[in-house]
Amino acid sequence: MVAMTRSLFWPSLSAAIALLILLSLGTWQLQRLAWKQDLIASIKARSTAEPLTLEEAMRRHAAGEDVEFFPLRLRGRFDHANEKHLYRVEKGKAGWRVFTPLRTRQGRAIMVDRGFVPDELKAPERRKEGLLEGEREVIGQIRYAAGQGLFTPDNVPQENIWYWPDLGAMARESRVLQERLVPFYVEDRNKAVPGGWPRGAPRSAELPNRHLEYAITWYSLALALIGVYIAYVRTALKKR
**pLDDT-based confidence at 144, cuts 50/70/90?**
very high
- The per-residue pLDDT of the chain, averaged, comes to 88
Task: Tell me the residue length of the chain.
Answer: 240
Q: Is 35 exposed, middle or buried (0-12, 13-18, 19+ CB in 10 A)?
A: exposed
* % of the chain exceeding 70 in pLDDT: 94
Domain extents in the chain: 2-43+209-239, 70-196
Residue 145: CB partners within 8 Å, gap ≥ 6?
Answer: 164, 165, 166, 167, 184, 185
- Is residue 56's pLDDT more than 70? yes
Classify domain 70-196 at the CATH topology level: OB fold (Dihydrolipoamide Acetyltransferase, E2P) (2.40.50)
- Is residue 85's pLDDT more than 90? yes
Per the model's pLDDT, the better-predicted residue between 236 and 125 turns out to be: 125
Give the pLDDT mean for 108-133.
90
pLDDT value of position 205:
56
* pLDDT tens track for 221-232: 999 999 999 998
- Is residue 174's pLDDT more than 90? no
pLDDT value of position 91:
83
- Is residue 37's pLDDT more than 80? yes
- Is residue 77's pLDDT more than 60? yes
- Is residue 191's pLDDT more than 80? no
